[in-house]
Structure 1
Amino acid sequence: MTGKILDERYELIEKIGSGGMADVYKAKDILLDRIVAVKILHSSFAEDNDFIVRFRHEAQSAGKLSHPNIVGIYDVGCDGDVHYIVMEYVEGETLKQYIQNHPNIPIDTAVRIAIEIGYALEEAHANGIIHCDIKPHNVLLTRTGKVKVTDFGIARAINSSTVLDKQSILGSVHYLSPEQAAGDKITAKTDIYSLGIVLYEMLTHHLPFEGETAVSIALQHMQGDIPRPTKYNPAISPMLEECLLTALQKDPDKRYDTVSDFISELKIAQGFTTTIYKPASHDFTAMTRPIPKKEVRTHKVQRETKLTRFITNLPQKYIWIGMAVLFIICFAWAFFSFGNFWSSENITVPNVVGKPVEVAETTLKKLDLKVSVDEIASDDVPAGQVISQTPAAGTNVKARRIIHLTVSKGGSAMLIPDLKGLTLEQAKERLDKMGLTLGAVENGNDPDKPSDVIISQSPESGAKATKGTRVNIVINMKQKVHVPNVVGMTLADARNTLLSMKLSVGTINASDGTSTDDSNAIIISQDPAGGESTSSNVVNLTVGKKKSQTKTGTVNISIPKGGNARQVEIYVTDDSGKHTAYSGKAAPGSTVSKDVSGSGNVHVQVVIDGSVVQDREL
């Protein structure tokens, strides 16, 4: 395509990029004498009229956006069978290239880039447009460090009739939101999740989920736990980590309500929102002699008078700014102390007094509560055990409320710690810190307790001990169950089969629009897979429709003897769409014979030199 001129206006100079939908060329706008970027849709999409209409509509919608952090769209056109978008030309590199070339991006830099991407999304969302494909490949960094988000030409315009299904989803699977992977309706919170993944990659130089196939990665977005970013980069602050993990919640309702909220939290977490006030400085070297009490009082009155005069003479806008800063500080203190107080969700605080601090933290965090820990010396409570909690057990609080735990760090007398509920590694670490020794390790079986945790110990918690005392433990090793293969069964039959094996059905996911309440729906996958052994008694299922039956046939076309060679095309349309089964020149008097196949309703069309000569069902 290099050298081609589109619509007698855009001269293609060189190819500068390629993607799954289009190729990008550096071009010259002959009419306005300027350099532009031209995105040319792949020819494989040019035959889909519905897609072309949608493509043009969305590009025109995105063309209305005007923002410093958005690559501008100048024109949308078609030259013959070439469909294209003309965009602002940006010199620089993609954010993906920047990440690959900079394995240790400063945290401030990563957050600032994320904030500028957020500004672009803020503008798009305000105009009813969701990007749907936020990834480092679609973010450009100029040579001056400016951030530019591109590919809004394939974004989805929100309106009352827009509903996105699985087949309309665009985007790289590593940055896909759980609702995109599940084929659910997409909102502006989809872009918040994808932006969170981009920021995660910049901060850690890792993607949260990897896999051999796109399907396995998509399933992890839907079901897997996001590794905490501090696992890869301990320099990330707790506030920034919590901010990032909030954006990466699997449930969209638990993410930030808007990208503006995400931007504000990032600024606060990284200290980009600062106060205008400076701390007062004191010249201690000038204090060479004691000051009489009367003189102190005089100086105090003079200082108070000067302070009052200073405040009185301040411009009114500074007073308002000071009040706003004070309000933000008070609001932040209230939020982090009392939780999400505007939430309608009430949580009853469980009793964790007497439990190991690790078990207490896990229990509280599962209920969407935050935890702070203070340690004090105690001769009566073993080290690592919770002495008290605030708020008390049974109190109703809002989500994300901080629960303050007071934990024993031991005393002059050594007491055996409570190891029940800990893993073997956690128990070893606790005993090593106290100078105690791990004794015999036995296997037990308690179906009511989690697997691989300690269910009993000897000596018991609270017993007095000396250094080197051996503590024997029993680990809960649940008996493994052989999982039957239920793929291909109906949902009703699968339930009965699992029940007969003393297994229960966990979550039921659906594909192809199948209802999870339909007892005749077909099981297309299961987790754990059939034949595996598991210590859990829960099997998760995915239901879908039966695959359509494949039909086959042969198309025979006789070419007239007279004249020139003829161009022959054979098209097959089935449940999966339209595709070309044969395309080529045929000599006069020859016969074209082609085996064709398809699934479901199969329609065959034969075209010779542009004219339809055969149109039938297979």
Structure 2
Amino acid sequence: MIGHDLGGRYEILTRIGGGGMALVYKAHDVLLNRKVAVKVLRQQFVHDEEFIRRFRREAQSAAALSHPNVVSIYDVGQEDDNHYIVMEYVEGQNLNEVIGERAPLQASEAVRIGIQIADALDHAHQNHIIHRDIKPHNILIGNNGRVKVTDFGIARAVTSSTITQTGSVIGSVHYFSPEHAKGINAGEKSDIYSLGIVLYQMLTGKLPFLGESPISVALKHLQEPFEEPRKVNPHIPQSVENVILKAMRKNPVERYGSAHEMLLALEGCMNPDRLNEPKITFTSVNDMEETRVMPAIRAEMLPDAGKERMEAAISSNTDTQLIESEEEYVKPRGWKKPLTVVGVTLLILALIIWGFIWLLGRLDVAEVEVPYVVGRTEAEARQMIEAAGLKVEDPVIHEFNKDVPIDQVISQTKMNMRVKEGSLIQLTVSDGPELEELGDYVGKPIQTAIDELTALGVDDKRIHIDRVFNEQTPETVLQQTPGAGEQFDPETAEFTFMVSKGRETVPMPNLIGTSLDEAKDLLKASELVLEDADILNEPSYIHQKGYVISQNPFEPKEQVVKGSKVSITVSSGPPKDAKEHLFNIVISPAEAGKTSEIRIVYSDARGEDIEWDKRQITGTQTFPVTVVLAPDTEATVTVYRDNQFIDRKSITYEELAQGADSSTLTIPGAEPPPTEEPAQAEVDETDEEANQEEQQQQP
């Protein structure tokens, strides 16, 4: 079967279990893209028509059950000789495996499991379905802790052909009720007895009855008492033991009246005020197989036919005296009365037969094929079902399903079969994926929204954030889409949040060294505030009067919120005790008629080695260099020509105090060398003229 596409829809993946009647496989429903469990009837039963008929009928009945603790039946079908039932696939273990690994279980856990089983049985019994095979193998425990009861109705399909099959009837004999073991038609209380044995096994780790053969175990159910649970496990609360003792009474009358009554008992047995309640007692011991003294049967107590048989038996006795004595009790009878009784009886039988035939005629409704509507919209499914002469059972079941689009049919009852016209078809329709309600995140940190949405399964790639300048605290949500209270699918929904990044900022301009008017213009352009009270003045050797010395509280290029207030300090000029001195630098080019580069550097109260200027000259020029001196300081001016140090001049504050307001530094050019030697006559003539001039000048 593995790898086979059953019914062209269910791809068999692997075998996950089986019993004497069927094998269970894990499969993939290619139509709805989900995992399912498929139970396939064993081949040795495929030719037992009675078995197949009852198998399908019970499977259809179980499909009518809709309960969180019942394994849902999705489909019933046949392919060639393969009869199968498609069920909900539960990821987890069955209770038998749990008991084998961890029994005895804690009382609270066993009661929790028992409550869910009782709830499932109560739902089934209300729908007139008896399980008849409650045992740990048929109870599944999902990975989420949810208990699911499976194989509802299948036990009813057992016939005489299966009584010897290992794993079916024989395999369940340890959980049989006494009436079931005796062959009496088992009812709701038979399931209650079996649930009591399951509770017993969970809490003790053992079965109440064991034997060398199934027959011996069945006889113990009928005749022998079992060891009480608290004798096996003293940690079981008395209230829990009382539930088991009552559920496992051999006489059905002394058990719980219904699965609902047992459910209520289980729900309350772990209450602190009940844990140590008195042990339950039963006033009448009236078990089914108890030995009783029966009264003698006399002839007068027998019906007419019995009396006649008794007379015949007596007449065959050779003891004449005994016959004579018995004749006192058997009086001769006439023939009229029996004839009347027979006639009336025949008439009644004729009326019954006629009525039965008439009723069959009324009930003989044409059969129609049930249309397959899974995957259709609810409106389409209704139209197809009504067109086939059938009816949709109301109300339609709606459930969330992330794999099936909204308004599409997930499953239907009575598939792949013919039914009477007018029959009801139950539909289960998808409400789409289960939606969540979006919270209100406006005014909250964006991280709160991200954390809560990702916890619901939202991919953070579908959370979009738009940051804007705002008066709110940075990272605060301002707007959200979708809005608060709207429903959304965590697997597909997209989210957009407008988030504050605080007030808008600008880079702080560099005001130092600018004039006051320039500083005001720069601050105004950056939307920063400078009030008159925030303009401070102080003397400065370094900055000219009216120029900015410093700015507060923001450094240049620092990001500042628009509208922030700024204060500045402006120079009021040098201090009052400062003195100025003018150096007149008279300098000639290195060679007359040629260009020289002049560079002047000074040091005073404003700083060291301040470059005054650098110029090109072709003739003698005078450069005024003003220096500022503070008390007890000295000012120096240094001259470079053609990148060579030429001269330096200094003056002290004390010298200025004596009235020296200015001084001159003269730097001549170099004298050009002679181009040629003069003639002797010219030298003599020149010397003679010079001597004559000198003599004329003398007095």
Fold equivalence (TM over 0.5): no
State the TM-score, normalizing by the size of structure 2.
Answer: 0.39
State the TM-score, normalizing by the size of structure 1.
Answer: 0.43
Compare CA radii of gyration and give the structure with the larger one: 2
